[in-house]
């Protein structure tokens, strides 16, 4: 089955193929104070992210706490966000699990709920060899009419999608993109050189670096709180002002470090800042724990210094 969503650049853009837009946010899943799904909050957050520079949203990903949301909640979230942002914002639904059958079910449910594409992470814990991994992705890719973004994050899954495997998978018409958290910049460039896969930086510190060698954009955690600043990095590069783009990327480093590399998961730090700013977020679900007062205050200080710059 081939994808029904056109795999083309948005109107007015040039350069690398961007099947899912350019500036995507790995959106948190807002919960109420009692831990239930906050659909109204999700609508408001998604609308704000779209208005402030995101042309795509990834729902039900790691930052969206997909391991602790039910299948029904995942579909409800997609439907609610689609209602809020309309058809002008690309919605990519995280559907990856450790079970091929379950991943296929979530893919079909995401299509029914209104997603434009799916994000499929390598099956985790079981650590399948490359031939089994390839078969898993091919089965998911053929299960719906949605285009697929593969998610390469071996630090979490325990399994790398090897460059040669990615080259083979690129032959499938529905497999069109990669969210890259491999931390193998050489391997990434080798795949870029040999395929038409659209590469999205999944690590905020790599947003500009990957874009500069032909990446399509980013799937950013930091964009939950500063979507305009993330978009501005890519805007400057597109305008030919590479020095400005580099300056903006460097300015973001303290916030990127505080949110993604200072000991707390990005979900926790994103929600702590969103809550502090009065935006929809709420608590995290166990086994995660919300940031304590000291950590939350530290995050807010870094954010305020960055926002003032």
In a domain, 128, yes or no: yes
Question: What's residue 4's pLDDT?
Answer: 39
**Does the annotation mark 179 as catalytic?**
yes
Asked whether residue 248 is assigned to any structural domain, the reply reads no
Per-residue model confidence as pLDDT tens digits over 162-213: 999 999 999 999 999 999 999 999 999 999 999 999 999 999 999 999 999 9
CB 21 within 8 A of CB 90: yes
pLDDT of residue 3: 39
The residue-averaged pLDDT of 154-169 equals 97
Task: Work out the average pLDDT over 215-231.
Answer: 98
Closest alpha carbon to 137 in 93, 170, 91, 186: 170
Write down the pLDDT at residue 15: 55
Count Cα neighbours of 240 within 13 Å in the Cβ-side half-sphere: 0
pLDDT at 7: 44
- Average pLDDT, stretch 243-260? 98
What pLDDT does residue 12 have?
A: 43
Tell me the whole-structure pTM to 2 decimals: 0.94
In sign, the C-alpha dihedral spanning 54, 2, 182, 75 is positive
Residue 217's domain comprises 23-241
In a domain, 79, yes or no: yes
The closest alpha carbon to 231, from 10, 41, 34, 51, belongs to 51
H-helix or E-strand containing 218? strand 217-220
Residue at 161 is within a domain? yes
pLDDT digits (tens, 9 = 90+) for 94-151: 999 999 999 999 999 999 999 999 999 999 999 999 999 999 999 999 999 999 999 9
Number of domains, the chain: 1
Q: What is the average pLDDT value for the chain, to the nearest integer? A: 95
Q: CATH no. for residue 236?
A: 3.20.20.70
Contacts of 87 (CB under 8 A, 6+ apart): none
- Which tens digits make up the pLDDT trace of 39-75? 999 999 999 999 999 999 999 999 999 999 999 999 9
Q: Pick the catalytic residue: 74, 179, 211, 303?
A: 179
Residue 254 lies in a domain: no
Cis peptide before 144 (omega within 30 of 0): no
Within the chain, residue ranges assigned H as helices are 39-51, 71-85, 100-113, 130-141, 154-157, 163-169, 185-194, 207-212, 227-238, 242-251, 253-260, 266-276, 293-308
Annotated catalytic residue: which of 112, 125, 151, 303? Answer: 151
Measure Cα distances from 28 to 37, 71, 120, 132 in Å: 11, 16, 17, 31
How far, in whole angstroms, is CA 246 from its chain's centroid?
22
Question: At residue 1, does pLDDT exceed 70?
Answer: no
Residue 152 falls inside a structural domain: yes
Helix or strand or coil: residue 151? strand
Please give the pLDDT value at position 309. 83
């Amino acid at each position: 089955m081939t994808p029904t969503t056109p795999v083309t650049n948005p109107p007015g853009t040039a350069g690398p193929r961007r099947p899912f837009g350019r500036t995507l946010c790995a959106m948190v899943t807002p919960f109420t104070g009692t831990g239930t799904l906050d659909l109204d909050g999700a609508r408001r957050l998604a609308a704000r992210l779209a208005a402030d520079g995101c042309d795509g949203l990834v729902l039900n990903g790691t930052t969206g706490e997909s391991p602790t949301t039910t299948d029904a909640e995942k579909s409800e979230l997609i439907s609610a966000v689609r209602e809020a942002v309309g058809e002008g914002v690309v919605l990519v639904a995280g559907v990856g699990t450790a079970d091929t059958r379950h991943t296929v079910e979530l893919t079909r449910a995401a299509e029914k709920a209104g997603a434009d594409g799916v994000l499929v992470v390598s099956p985790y814990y079981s650590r399948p060899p490359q031939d089994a991994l390839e078969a898993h992705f091919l089965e998911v890719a053929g299960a719906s009419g949605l285009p697929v973004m593969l998610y390469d994050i071996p630090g979490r899954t325990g399994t790398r999608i090897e460059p040669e495997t990615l080259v083979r998978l690129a032959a499938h018409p529905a497999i069109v993109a990669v969210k890259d958290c491999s931390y193998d910049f050489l391997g990434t460039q080798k795949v870029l050189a040999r395929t038409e896969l659209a590469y999205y930086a999944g690590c905020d510190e790599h947003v500009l670096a990957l874009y500069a060698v032909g990446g399509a954009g980013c799937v950013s955690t930091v964009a939950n709180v500063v979507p305009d600043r993330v978009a501005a990095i890519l805007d400057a590069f597109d305008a030919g002002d590479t020095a400005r783009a580099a300056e903006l990327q460097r300015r973001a480093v303290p916030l990127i470090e505080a949110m993604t590399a200072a000991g707390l998961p990005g979900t926790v730090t994103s929600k702590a800042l969103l809550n502090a700013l009065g935006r929809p977020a709420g608590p995290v679900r166990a086994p995660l724990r919300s940031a304590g007062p000291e950590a939350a205050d530290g995050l807010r200080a870094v954010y305020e210094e960055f926002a003032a710059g």
